[in-house]
Amino acid sequence: SFINNVLREIQRQIPPFFQKVKQMHQLEFLVCIDNSGSMASKEKAVLEALVVLVEVLRKLEFRFAIALWGRHKQEKLLVGFDEVFTFTKGQQIIESFTFDESSQMADCLNSLLHKVWPGTIPKPSTTQRLVLMLTDGFSEQADPSNFSGLKENFKYEMGMLLIREPHHDSHEPFLKAVCTHQCWHVLEMSQIDLLPSSLIYILTKMFEAAKSAILKIEEKGPTSHSASEKMVLQPPVKGDIRSFHDITKLAVDASSSIQQQGGIRQRHLFSVCALDKEIPFLALAQQDPALVRACSESSEQALDQCLRGHEDFFAAFDRERKSLCCRVEQYWMDATRELSSQIQEYSSVLEQFVLPFNKYTRKRAALKGSSLHLPGLIKAVTSNFTDKKFFAAKTAGGRRNYSICLVLDVSSSMSGHLSDSAQETLVCFIAALLQAGIESFSIILFGQSVRIIKTEDQPWGYAVLWALMNYATRAESFSRDADAIRTALQLAAASSAPNKKVFVFTDGFGSSGLHLPLVLDRAEQLDVDVVALAVGMDRTNVKHAYKRYVVASIPAVVPQALRALFLEENAVEDEEDEVQVLRAGTDDSVEDILRNPDKVFGNIAKQMAGEREATLVRGDKPDVITVDVAVCMDCTGSMSAWITNAKSQIATIVHDIAPRVHKEFPDINLDIKFCLIAYRDYGDQERHAVYPPDLTFTGDTDTFCKHVQTLQARGGEDGPEDLLGAMGVAGKLKWTSRLRFLVIVADAPAHGRECNDDLGDRFADGDPEGRTMAGVVKPLCDSKVDVIFCQVKASATDKTQKVLARHYEDDSRKLSVVNLFKDDAVEVRRFHFVFCLDESGSMAGSPWEALMRAYGTFLGRRRNDQGAGDLVSTVCFASTARVVCSAMPITTVAARIDFRSGGTDFDPALACAEGELSKTPADCIPMLIFMSDGCGGGRPVEKIQQFARAYRGFVCHTVGLGSVSQGVLQDMARAGGGEAKFTDEITIAGAFGELASGCAALDGLVSEFGAKIAGMVSTRICVDHL
C-alpha cells in the first residue's frame, strides 16, 4: 500500500505538468547503488528501498537504468534503459549485490555515464537526465574535485541520499557541491527504517528539478492544451517488422502456473467495479475549460492519414510477405489449440452476457407490434382470441451487431506478468469473437504512440496477427491511454452498429492525467461502453482511472469476472488504501522535512516493517561480512631460520584482523575463516600439506593455531620450490565467503626460467607437472581472490613476483606485495659452524659412536634444509686440540672422524676455535657448537664472551653427554646467547638435529611478521571492500 500511495501522489503531479508543456519530454533515471563493504550492515534496508524505487519508476513509466558501483572497472549496469524489466530481472538485480568492494564513486560514475549516455544531447533536449545515488559516503573520492566536469559533459541532474554512520562526517559540503539544489539528504543510521521513504522523497525532488529544467528549455508562448497537437497516431511501419525468429511470440501460458497450484477459490482471483461508481477525477478535470475544449477537438485529419498508411502497409505486406503466412497460421493454430478450453469459456460468456443478440432478421408473432402477423391473427380468431399474439415483431433470426475495439497497453509498466496475461487474454478474446462469427472488430495498441493494427472493415488474417505480434511484445515509455480510447471512439463513430464497446487491456497507469476522465465522459455521451481489464499478478491502478473495470489475477478467470460485471452482480472491490500524503506545508524546506520525517511520512516506517511484500534472502546475515583467508607458506629448510617464530606470528594474523577492522568500522562484524597450505618441493614428504584437509576453511581459530604449531621446516633440495603447485591447490580451495584473500609467504622462487634465474634449479625448463603461472592464477582470478605476496628476501623472489603480477593484475585487480624484511637484514643466511668435539678417553667406544651419529645427523639436516652454502670447521680436543676440517663447504665434509684419546682441556679447543672463527666470511653467521662429557680447565666462559664481542651474530650452543658437569656448559651457552642441551647416548642425535633445524639467528627480525600481514589484510578489507 505504501507503493500505491507513492504512485498516486506522484501521478497527481506528473500528467498535469506534461499536459502544459509544448513538447513530449522524457525522463531518464540512472540509479546508482553503493556496493562497497561498508554498506553490508545496511543491506536489507538498501535492497528493500531499491525494490520500492524500481516499482515506483516502473509504474510511473520513467525510463530507468540500475547500476551498482564500488571498485573502479567493476561497476555493473544491471538493467539498461531499453531492457524490459521482469520479475526475473528484478531477482537477478537483488542477487547481484555483494557489498564487498572498495568505494571509488567518481570513477565508477564516470564509467557508468559513458555506458548509458554515450552520445551528446541535442539542444534543446526533450530528454532530462537524472542520476540518483545511494551511498554511505565512505569513499576516498567523496570530494567535489573528483566530479569536476561530469555534469558539464553529460548534462544531468544529481540527487544523493547518504546514510551516515554515528560519529562520521555528514559530507554536507560535498553533497551541496555535487547535487542539484535540495536533491540530497543525510539519513542517520538510527533512522534506517525510513530509507525507502527518504529515497522516494528525493525522487520527487528530482522530478521537481526536472520540471524546472523543462520549463527553462520550453519556448516562450501561450500554454497549449491541444490534445490533437500531441497525439501520436501511427499505422504499422514496414521498418519495424522483424523476422519470425526475431520476435517474441504472444504469451499464452500466464494462467498455467497459478492453475497448477490448485486450492485457490477463483472468486478470490478477480474483482469488478461497483455499480454506482463514477468516473474518477471527472469533476476535477471539468474545472479546466481549456482541457475540456482540447478533449472535444476533432483529430479526423490525423486519423485519416493514419488509416491511409494502414491500408498501404497491409497492401505491401500481402505482396511481399506471403511466405510468412504458413508459419503465422501454424503459430495461431497451436496457440488456440493450447487455449481451447479457455477460449470456449470466453466464447460462452461473450455470447450470453457481454455480446448477446441485438439484431433480429425475421418476424415472429408477439403481443405488441406495429403490424399484424397473419398466421397469428388466424390462430387468435380460431381460438376466440385466447391466443393474443397476432402482432408482428422481429424476434427471430438473432444476430450480433456490435462495434468492438480491443485496445492493448504496451507500455513499460505492463512488463512482466501483466504483459503476458494481457496478451493471453487478447488471444482468447479474438478467438472467441471469431468463434461467435464477429470479425468486424478493431485493434489498437498504445504506449509512446497510438498504433492502429486492425480496422473494423479489415478481415482478420495472418497479416494482422503478424503485425500484432511485432508490436504487442514491446515495452514503451508513456501510456497514451486517453489518446488510444479517443481513437477508438473515432473508429466507433464511423460504424453503423447500434452498440459499441471498447475493451482496454491495461494496468491503469497512464500518462494522460485528467485527459482520461474527460475522454471516458465523452464515451458515455456517445453511448460507448468502455471496460478496462487489468489481468495479471502485479500492481494495477484501473480502479482509480476507470468507471467500469475488471481486475483478474489470471486470464482464466476473466470470463467469470465479465459475467459478474455484465450481470451487475455485487462487486468485490479492494478496500481503499489509506492515503499517506507525502507532502508537507508550503513553508517547510526539504531540510526541515527530512530532519523531522515523522511529520511527512507518518507511520509509513511502521507500516512497511509490518507488511513488506518482498522477502530478501541472501547467504550472509545482513550485518556480517564473511572472509576467507588462506595462508600459503614455504616450509622448506630455507625457512628454518625463522619458522619457529613465524608460527607464532600466524596466530597474530588470525587474531588481529578483526580488531583492526572493527576499530575503523565498529558496526561491521567479520566472520573470518582460515586455511593453511604448507608447501615444500618435489621429492619431499607432504609436498602440499593442507589444513583443513578437505580444502575448506575453518572458523575454529584455536584448533587452527594448534595445527600451525606442528609445522616443521624441512626439505627443499635446491633453491626454487613448488610454489606453482601450492598456488594450484589454492585455486581448488572451496572459497565461499564474500571477501577472499590468499597470503603467499615465500623466500624462494617458483621453478622454471619464467620465474627465476637460479642456475641450480633442477627444473629450469618448467614445472615437471606442466603447471604455469598463468594456469594457476586463472582460477584465483575467477574466484575473485585478493592475492598478497609476502617476500622474505625480495632479490630471490622478485622475478616470480613480477610474473605473478603480470598474469594476475588487470584494471580491477592489483597484486599487493609486502617485503617482510630489508634485503640486507636477511642477506646473512649462511652459517659457519665451528664444532668442538670432545675425544678424551671417556668418549671411547659407544659414546664416540653416538657422537658421530649426532654429528652426521646435523650435517644431513642442514644439507637437506638448503644449507648447501654453509661452512664447517671441526676441532677435536682432549688434552690438546686438532683441526679436522677448516671452513669447508658442508657438502664436502665427511660425517665420520677417527677417534683419538687423551685428557680433557677446554682452552686448546677454544684457541683452535678462535682461529677458525676468524675465517668466517662476511655473509655467514658464526655458530660454535661445543660438546663435552667432562669438565676441562681454563677460563672458557671469558673466551666465549670475547667471541661474542668480536664476531657479529655469534651464537654458542653447548651439548653435554652423560654425567657431565653442567654448570660450565650452561654458563658458556648463556654467554654465547645460545642453548645448553644435556643428553645421553640415545638422545644426543636428537639434540644435534634440533640445533640444525632450529637455528634462530633471524628470530628478532620476524617479530613483526604477523603484524605486517594482519595489517595488510585488514587494510585491504577496509580500503578495497569497505
Give tens-digit pLDDT for 303-354.
888 888 888 888 877 665 666 667 778 888 888 888 998 999 999 999 889 9
pLDDT bucket at 228, cuts 50 / 70 / 90:
very low
pLDDT at 264: 44
pLDDT at 580 over 50: no
- Bridge partners for 132 per DSSP: 31, 159
Percent of the chain with pLDDT over 90: 32
Lowest-confidence region among 256-260, 422-426, 511-515: 256-260
> Residue with C-alpha cell 476533432?
298
pLDDT at 963 over 50: yes
Quote the CA–CA distance of 606 and 196 in Å, as a whole number: 12
- The torsion defined by the Cα of 198, 202, 208 and 212, in degrees rounded to 10, comes to 160
Tell me the pLDDT band of 404, cut-offs 50, 70 and 90: very high
pLDDT of the residue at 622: 45
What is the crossing angle of helices 300-320 and 462-472, to 10°?
110
* Residue range 456-485: mean pLDDT, rounded: 84
CA dihedral 62, 445, 511, 85 (to 10 degrees): -20
Task: Look at residue 764 in the predicted model and tell me its pLDDT.
Answer: 87
Give the per-residue pLDDT at 971: 92
Residues 821 and 807 sit within 8 Å (Cβ to Cβ): no
pLDDT bin (cut points 50, 70, 90) of residue 596 is low
When pLDDT is cut at 50, 70 and 90, the band that residue 828 belongs to is very low
> At residue 923, does pLDDT exceed 90?
no
Of the candidates 530, 505, 527, the one whose C-alpha atom is nearest the C-alpha of residue 516 is 530
Lowest average pLDDT, out of 417-421, 983-987, 1005-1009, goes to 1005-1009
Q: Which of the two residues, 234 and 664, has the higher pLDDT score?
A: 234
C-alpha cell at position 825:
637484514
Identify the pLDDT of residue 370: 65
Q: pLDDT tens, 831-880?
A: 899 999 999 999 999 999 999 999 998 888 777 665 668 899 999 999 99
CA 473 to each of CA 260, 445, 447, 483, 1010: distance values in angstroms, whole numbers, following the listed order: 25, 11, 11, 20, 61
Residue 675 has a pLDDT of 93
| Cell digits of residue 176 | 551541496
Mean pLDDT of 63-68: 92
pLDDT of residue 488: 95
Q: Which three cell numbers stand for residue 329?
A: 497460421
Which one, of 177, 199, 205, lies nearest residue 186 by Cα?
199
Average pLDDT over residues 76-91: 83
CA distance linking residue 941 with residue 500, whole number of Å:
121
**To 10 degrees, what angle do helices 43-60 and 87-96 make?**
150
Which residue shows C-alpha cell 622448506? 636
| pLDDT for the residue numbered 162 | 93
Please give the average per-residue pLDDT across 961-970, as a whole number.
Answer: 87
Whether omega before 375 lies within 30 degrees of 0, making that bond cis, reads no
Task: Report, as an integer, the average pLDDT of 587-598.
Answer: 48
pLDDT tens digits for range 722-746: 999 999 999 999 998 888 899 898 8
208 burial (CB, 10 Å; 0-12 / 13-18 / 19+) is middle
pLDDT of residue 604: 46
Q: Give the pLDDT confidence score for residue 568 in this predicted structure.
A: 77
Tell me what the mean pLDDT of segment 925-954 comes to.
90
Q: Which of 17-21, 130-134, 231-235, 272-276 has the lowest mean pLDDT?
A: 17-21
Lowest mean pLDDT of 97-111, 584-598, 661-675, 692-706, name the range: 584-598
Q: What is the mean pLDDT of the chain?
A: 81
Say which DSSP state 448 is in.
Answer: S
How do residues 548-559 score in pLDDT, each as one tens digit?
A: 999 999 999 999
For residue 124, is the peptide bond before it cis, meaning its omega torsion is within 30 degrees of 0?
yes
Q: Cβ(178)–Cβ(154) under 8 Å?
A: no
DSSP designation for 715: -
pLDDT score at 256: 60
Residue 1004: per-residue pLDDT: 42
Question: C-alpha distances in angstroms, 283 versus 11, 286, 289, 510, 515?
Answer: 17, 5, 12, 19, 12
Alpha carbon distance 504, 548 (integer Å): 10
Least confident range from 577-586, 823-832, 1009-1018: namely 577-586
Torsion of CA 39, 43, 48, 52, to 10 degrees: 20
Please report which confidence band the pLDDT of residue 378 belongs to, taking 50, 70 and 90 as the band edges.
confident
pLDDT digits (tens, 9 = 90+) for 282-293: 888 888 888 888
Distance between CA atoms of 534 and 269, rounded to whole angstroms?
12
CA 358, chain centre distance (Å): 59
Distance CA 210, CA 274 (A): 38
DSSP 370: S
Q: Helix, strand, or coil here: 927?
A: strand
More confident residue, 60 or 184: 184
Three cell numbers at 375? 398466421
- How much is the pLDDT for 452? 94
Residue type, 251: A
In angstroms, the CA 18 to CA 211 distance is 9
Output 404 or 121, whichever has higher pLDDT: 404
pLDDT of 1010 > 70? The answer is no
- Would you say how long the chain is, in residues? 1026
Q: Pick the more confident residue, 780 or 595.
A: 780
pTM score:
0.60
Maximum CA extent, the chain: 167
Q: What is the chain's Cα-based Rg?
A: 44
> Helix or strand or coil: residue 158?
strand
The half-sphere exposure of 359 on its side-chain side, counting CA atoms within 13 A, is 10
Q: Taking CA 816 as the corner, what is the angle to CA 812 and CA 817, rounded to the nearest 5 degrees?
A: 150
Residue-by-residue DSSP string for 260-298: HH----GGGGEEE--TTPPPTTHHHHTT-HHHHHHHHS-
| Residue 474: pLDDT over 90 | no
Cα–Cα dist 33/58, whole Å: 17
As a whole number, mean pLDDT of residues 678-704 equals 89
Q: List, as own/partner pairs, every contact residues 296-303 make where C-beta atoms lie below 8 angstroms and the sequence separation is at least 24, other chains included.
A: 296/522, 297/226, 297/227, 297/228, 298/228, 299/227, 299/228, 299/231, 299/233, 299/486, 299/490, 300/490, 302/228, 302/231, 302/233, 303/233, 303/487, 303/490, 303/491
Kindly state the average pLDDT of the residues 472-496.
86
